Amino acid sequence: MSIKKYIKRGVKYVLTGEPINHITTHIVTLAPNELLKGRTALITGGTAGIGLAIAKKFLQSGADVVITGRTNERLASACEELKQVSATGKVYGICMDNRDVSAFSVYIDSISEKIRGNIDILVNNAGVLGGDIKNVTEEEYDQILNTNLKGVFFLSKYFGESWKTKGLAGNILNIASSSSLRPAISAYTLTKWGIRGLTLGLGKIFAPYGITVNGIAPGPTATQMIIKKETDNITFSTNPLGRLVMPEEIANMAVFLVSEMGRSIIGDIVYMTGGSGLVTLDDVKYSF
Protein backbone atom coordinates (compact mmCIF):
# COMPACT_ATOMS: atom_id res chain seq x y z
CA MET A 1 0.00 0.00 0.00
CA SER A 2 1.28 3.49 -0.87
CA ILE A 3 2.31 6.03 1.78
CA LYS A 4 -0.39 8.33 0.43
CA LYS A 5 -3.10 5.80 1.28
CA TYR A 6 -1.72 5.31 4.80
CA ILE A 7 -1.80 9.07 5.33
CA LYS A 8 -5.40 9.25 4.08
CA ARG A 9 -6.40 6.48 6.49
CA GLY A 10 -4.63 8.24 9.32
CA VAL A 11 -6.51 11.46 8.63
CA LYS A 12 -9.79 9.53 8.39
CA TYR A 13 -9.09 7.90 11.75
CA VAL A 14 -8.53 11.29 13.39
CA LEU A 15 -11.74 12.69 11.87
CA THR A 16 -14.07 9.70 12.19
CA GLY A 17 -12.45 7.22 14.56
CA GLU A 18 -12.36 4.49 11.90
CA PRO A 19 -9.32 2.25 12.52
CA ILE A 20 -6.36 2.51 10.17
CA ASN A 21 -6.19 -1.23 9.66
CA HIS A 22 -8.27 -2.61 6.81
CA ILE A 23 -10.17 -5.86 7.33
CA THR A 24 -11.93 -7.88 4.68
CA THR A 25 -13.12 -11.43 5.16
CA HIS A 26 -13.67 -14.67 3.34
CA ILE A 27 -16.98 -16.24 4.33
CA VAL A 28 -17.24 -20.01 4.65
CA THR A 29 -20.63 -20.64 3.13
CA LEU A 30 -22.99 -23.49 2.36
CA ALA A 31 -22.33 -25.24 -0.93
CA PRO A 32 -25.31 -25.52 -3.32
CA ASN A 33 -27.69 -28.08 -1.86
CA GLU A 34 -31.29 -29.30 -1.86
CA LEU A 35 -32.24 -28.46 1.72
CA LEU A 36 -35.13 -26.31 0.48
CA LYS A 37 -36.00 -28.21 -2.68
CA GLY A 38 -39.67 -27.95 -3.62
CA ARG A 39 -40.30 -24.94 -1.39
CA THR A 40 -41.18 -21.32 -2.14
CA ALA A 41 -40.13 -18.40 0.05
CA LEU A 42 -41.51 -14.87 0.29
CA ILE A 43 -38.80 -12.47 1.45
CA THR A 44 -39.87 -8.92 2.26
CA GLY A 45 -37.30 -6.22 1.57
CA GLY A 46 -35.43 -8.63 -0.67
CA THR A 47 -33.87 -6.15 -3.07
CA ALA A 48 -30.66 -5.50 -1.11
CA GLY A 49 -28.61 -6.33 1.97
CA ILE A 50 -29.66 -9.19 4.21
CA GLY A 51 -32.87 -9.88 2.28
CA LEU A 52 -31.05 -10.24 -1.03
CA ALA A 53 -28.37 -12.45 0.53
CA ILE A 54 -31.06 -14.73 1.97
CA ALA A 55 -32.82 -14.92 -1.40
CA LYS A 56 -29.57 -15.97 -3.09
CA LYS A 57 -28.83 -18.63 -0.50
CA PHE A 58 -32.39 -19.99 -0.68
CA LEU A 59 -32.07 -20.32 -4.46
CA GLN A 60 -28.76 -22.15 -4.02
CA SER A 61 -30.54 -24.48 -1.59
CA GLY A 62 -33.24 -25.48 -4.08
CA ALA A 63 -36.08 -23.06 -3.30
CA ASP A 64 -38.02 -20.70 -5.52
CA VAL A 65 -38.13 -17.14 -4.19
CA VAL A 66 -40.50 -14.20 -4.23
CA ILE A 67 -38.96 -10.90 -3.15
CA THR A 68 -40.76 -7.68 -2.33
CA GLY A 69 -39.60 -4.11 -2.76
CA ARG A 70 -41.12 -0.66 -2.81
CA THR A 71 -39.89 0.46 -6.25
CA ASN A 72 -40.20 -1.39 -9.55
CA GLU A 73 -36.72 -0.30 -10.63
CA ARG A 74 -34.90 -1.80 -7.64
CA LEU A 75 -37.13 -4.87 -7.78
CA ALA A 76 -36.32 -5.53 -11.43
CA SER A 77 -32.59 -5.08 -10.82
CA ALA A 78 -32.60 -7.49 -7.86
CA CYS A 79 -34.61 -10.10 -9.77
CA GLU A 80 -32.13 -10.01 -12.64
CA GLU A 81 -29.27 -10.48 -10.19
CA LEU A 82 -31.04 -13.41 -8.53
CA LYS A 83 -31.74 -15.14 -11.85
CA GLN A 84 -27.98 -15.50 -12.32
CA VAL A 85 -27.68 -17.47 -9.07
CA SER A 86 -29.56 -20.64 -9.99
CA ALA A 87 -30.39 -22.28 -13.29
CA THR A 88 -33.41 -24.08 -11.84
CA GLY A 89 -34.84 -21.84 -9.13
CA LYS A 90 -37.64 -19.49 -10.11
CA VAL A 91 -37.52 -15.81 -9.14
CA TYR A 92 -40.52 -13.53 -8.76
CA GLY A 93 -40.80 -9.92 -7.68
CA ILE A 94 -43.73 -8.03 -6.23
CA CYS A 95 -43.87 -4.30 -5.60
CA MET A 96 -45.32 -4.14 -2.10
CA ASP A 97 -45.23 -1.70 0.78
CA ASN A 98 -45.06 -3.42 4.16
CA ARG A 99 -47.28 -0.68 5.60
CA ASP A 100 -50.14 -1.44 3.19
CA VAL A 101 -51.73 -4.16 5.32
CA SER A 102 -55.17 -3.96 3.68
CA ALA A 103 -53.64 -4.97 0.33
CA PHE A 104 -51.63 -7.98 1.54
CA SER A 105 -54.20 -10.54 0.43
CA VAL A 106 -54.39 -8.97 -3.05
CA TYR A 107 -50.60 -8.99 -3.43
CA ILE A 108 -50.22 -12.57 -2.24
CA ASP A 109 -53.16 -13.95 -4.22
CA SER A 110 -51.69 -12.34 -7.33
CA ILE A 111 -48.26 -13.88 -6.86
CA SER A 112 -49.76 -17.26 -5.88
CA GLU A 113 -51.49 -17.39 -9.26
CA LYS A 114 -48.16 -16.80 -11.00
CA ILE A 115 -46.23 -19.45 -9.10
CA ARG A 116 -49.13 -21.92 -9.24
CA GLY A 117 -48.35 -23.21 -5.81
CA ASN A 118 -48.03 -22.34 -2.16
CA ILE A 119 -45.60 -20.05 -0.44
CA ASP A 120 -44.45 -22.05 2.59
CA ILE A 121 -41.62 -19.85 3.91
CA LEU A 122 -42.07 -16.26 5.04
CA VAL A 123 -39.01 -14.14 5.83
CA ASN A 124 -39.99 -10.87 7.50
CA ASN A 125 -36.96 -8.78 6.62
CA ALA A 126 -38.22 -5.36 5.49
CA GLY A 127 -37.32 -2.59 7.89
CA VAL A 128 -36.24 1.01 8.26
CA LEU A 129 -33.97 2.74 10.76
CA GLY A 130 -34.48 5.92 12.76
CA GLY A 131 -36.86 7.45 15.24
CA ASP A 132 -34.53 8.69 17.99
CA ILE A 133 -36.68 9.89 20.88
CA LYS A 134 -34.97 13.30 20.88
CA ASN A 135 -36.21 14.37 17.49
CA VAL A 136 -38.65 11.82 16.06
CA THR A 137 -41.90 13.15 14.63
CA GLU A 138 -45.21 11.35 14.94
CA GLU A 139 -45.21 10.77 11.18
CA GLU A 140 -41.76 9.18 11.26
CA TYR A 141 -42.70 7.11 14.30
CA ASP A 142 -45.79 5.75 12.53
CA GLN A 143 -43.81 4.97 9.39
CA ILE A 144 -41.20 2.97 11.32
CA LEU A 145 -43.72 1.12 13.49
CA ASN A 146 -45.96 0.29 10.53
CA THR A 147 -43.07 -0.96 8.38
CA ASN A 148 -41.06 -2.84 10.98
CA LEU A 149 -43.76 -4.25 13.24
CA LYS A 150 -47.32 -3.85 11.97
CA GLY A 151 -46.44 -5.36 8.59
CA VAL A 152 -44.66 -8.30 10.22
CA PHE A 153 -47.59 -8.92 12.57
CA PHE A 154 -50.23 -9.03 9.84
CA LEU A 155 -48.18 -10.91 7.25
CA SER A 156 -47.45 -13.57 9.87
CA LYS A 157 -51.14 -13.66 10.79
CA TYR A 158 -52.12 -14.05 7.12
CA PHE A 159 -49.75 -16.93 6.42
CA GLY A 160 -50.30 -18.62 9.77
CA GLU A 161 -54.04 -18.78 9.17
CA SER A 162 -53.57 -19.89 5.56
CA TRP A 163 -51.12 -22.67 6.43
CA LYS A 164 -53.29 -23.87 9.29
CA THR A 165 -56.29 -24.15 6.95
CA LYS A 166 -54.28 -25.95 4.26
CA GLY A 167 -52.38 -28.16 6.69
CA LEU A 168 -49.01 -26.85 5.50
CA ALA A 169 -45.93 -27.06 7.71
CA GLY A 170 -44.60 -23.59 6.95
CA ASN A 171 -41.79 -21.50 8.40
CA ILE A 172 -41.74 -17.89 9.51
CA LEU A 173 -38.34 -16.29 9.99
CA ASN A 174 -38.23 -12.81 11.50
CA ILE A 175 -35.17 -10.64 11.04
CA ALA A 176 -34.85 -8.87 14.36
CA SER A 177 -31.82 -6.95 15.65
CA SER A 178 -29.30 -7.06 18.47
CA SER A 179 -30.63 -3.60 19.38
CA SER A 180 -33.43 -5.47 21.15
CA LEU A 181 -30.85 -6.26 23.84
CA ARG A 182 -30.64 -2.57 24.67
CA PRO A 183 -33.12 -0.06 26.10
CA ALA A 184 -35.70 1.09 23.56
CA ILE A 185 -34.86 4.76 23.09
CA SER A 186 -35.77 4.92 19.41
CA ALA A 187 -38.76 3.84 17.36
CA TYR A 188 -36.53 1.38 15.50
CA THR A 189 -35.31 -0.32 18.68
CA LEU A 190 -38.86 -0.44 19.99
CA THR A 191 -39.96 -2.35 16.88
CA LYS A 192 -37.14 -4.86 17.34
CA TRP A 193 -38.24 -5.48 20.93
CA GLY A 194 -41.67 -6.11 19.44
CA ILE A 195 -40.29 -8.57 16.88
CA ARG A 196 -38.52 -10.41 19.67
CA GLY A 197 -41.75 -10.81 21.64
CA LEU A 198 -43.81 -11.66 18.57
CA THR A 199 -41.38 -14.43 17.62
CA LEU A 200 -41.79 -15.99 21.05
CA GLY A 201 -45.57 -15.71 20.96
CA LEU A 202 -46.11 -16.96 17.42
CA GLY A 203 -43.62 -19.74 18.00
CA LYS A 204 -45.83 -21.05 20.78
CA ILE A 205 -49.27 -20.71 19.18
CA PHE A 206 -48.29 -21.93 15.69
CA ALA A 207 -46.15 -24.93 16.71
CA PRO A 208 -49.11 -27.31 17.27
CA TYR A 209 -50.02 -26.84 13.59
CA GLY A 210 -46.55 -27.71 12.30
CA ILE A 211 -45.69 -24.06 11.67
CA THR A 212 -42.23 -23.09 12.91
CA VAL A 213 -41.40 -19.51 13.88
CA ASN A 214 -37.91 -18.26 14.70
CA GLY A 215 -35.80 -15.16 14.34
CA ILE A 216 -32.30 -13.96 13.61
CA ALA A 217 -31.00 -10.87 15.39
CA PRO A 218 -27.97 -9.52 13.54
CA GLY A 219 -25.51 -7.13 15.06
CA PRO A 220 -23.86 -4.41 12.95
CA THR A 221 -23.86 -5.87 9.44
CA ALA A 222 -22.07 -4.89 6.23
CA THR A 223 -25.12 -3.62 4.34
CA GLN A 224 -26.13 -0.35 2.74
CA MET A 225 -28.06 0.54 5.91
CA ILE A 226 -24.73 1.44 7.47
CA ILE A 227 -23.03 2.33 4.19
CA LYS A 228 -20.92 -0.79 3.96
CA LYS A 229 -20.43 -3.39 1.26
CA GLU A 230 -18.29 -6.49 0.98
CA THR A 231 -15.30 -4.70 -0.59
CA ASP A 232 -15.22 -1.95 2.05
CA ASN A 233 -13.27 -1.96 5.28
CA ILE A 234 -15.45 -4.02 7.61
CA THR A 235 -13.43 -3.25 10.74
CA PHE A 236 -15.66 -2.74 13.77
CA SER A 237 -13.47 -2.04 16.77
CA THR A 238 -16.19 -2.23 19.45
CA ASN A 239 -17.10 -5.74 18.37
CA PRO A 240 -15.11 -8.64 19.94
CA LEU A 241 -14.99 -10.24 16.48
CA GLY A 242 -13.26 -7.09 15.24
CA ARG A 243 -15.42 -6.76 12.15
CA LEU A 244 -18.95 -6.38 10.90
CA VAL A 245 -21.16 -9.41 10.35
CA MET A 246 -21.57 -10.30 6.66
CA PRO A 247 -25.02 -10.78 5.07
CA GLU A 248 -23.92 -14.17 3.74
CA GLU A 249 -23.34 -15.41 7.28
CA ILE A 250 -26.90 -14.48 8.20
CA ALA A 251 -28.17 -16.17 5.03
CA ASN A 252 -26.44 -19.43 5.98
CA MET A 253 -28.24 -19.42 9.33
CA ALA A 254 -31.54 -18.60 7.62
CA VAL A 255 -31.30 -21.73 5.47
CA PHE A 256 -30.64 -23.87 8.53
CA LEU A 257 -33.56 -22.43 10.51
CA VAL A 258 -36.20 -22.88 7.78
CA SER A 259 -34.96 -26.30 6.69
CA GLU A 260 -35.83 -29.60 8.33
CA MET A 261 -32.57 -29.33 10.29
CA GLY A 262 -34.07 -26.47 12.27
CA ARG A 263 -37.51 -27.97 12.86
CA SER A 264 -36.93 -28.53 16.60
CA ILE A 265 -35.98 -24.88 17.16
CA ILE A 266 -39.18 -23.02 18.01
CA GLY A 267 -39.75 -19.42 19.06
CA ASP A 268 -36.05 -18.73 19.40
CA ILE A 269 -33.92 -15.78 18.37
CA VAL A 270 -30.40 -16.52 17.10
CA TYR A 271 -28.14 -13.58 17.89
CA MET A 272 -25.47 -13.10 15.22
CA THR A 273 -23.60 -10.14 16.62
CA GLY A 274 -19.92 -11.01 16.48
CA GLY A 275 -19.99 -10.51 20.22
CA SER A 276 -21.47 -7.00 20.21
CA GLY A 277 -24.55 -8.45 21.87
CA LEU A 278 -22.52 -9.17 25.01
CA VAL A 279 -23.73 -6.03 26.71
CA THR A 280 -25.66 -5.04 29.80
CA LEU A 281 -28.03 -2.13 30.25
CA ASP A 282 -25.23 -0.24 32.02
CA ASP A 283 -23.16 -0.24 28.83
CA VAL A 284 -25.58 2.15 27.14
CA LYS A 285 -24.76 5.83 27.61
CA TYR A 286 -27.48 8.23 26.57
CA SER A 287 -28.52 11.73 27.57
CA PHE A 288 -31.84 13.30 26.73
34-45 burial, b if ≥16 CB within 10 A, otherwise e? ebbeebbbbbbb
| 18: in domain | no
Q: Residue ranges of the chain with pLDDT lower than 50?
A: 1, 6, 10-11, 13-14, 19-20, 228, 280-282
Q: Is residue 8 part of a domain?
A: no
45 within some domain: yes
* 156 domain residue, yes or no: yes
Nearest CA-CA partner of 68 in 118, 115, 123:
123
Annotated catalytic sites, by residue? 188
Q: Does the residue 245 lie in any domain?
A: yes
Domain count across the chain: 1
CATH code where residue 252 lies: 3.40.50.720
Question: Given this model, what pLDDT does residue 281 score?
Answer: 47
- pLDDT value of position 120: 96
**How many other C-beta atoms lie within 10 A of the C-beta of residue 105?**
12
pLDDT in tens, 231-285: 566 776 677 777 788 899 999 999 999 999 999 999 999 998 877 766 544 455 6
Q: Is residue 27 part of a domain?
A: no
Q: Whole domain around residue 45: which residue ranges?
A: 35-277
pTM for this entry? 0.85
Residue 23 lies in a domain: no
Q: Is residue 284 part of a domain?
A: no
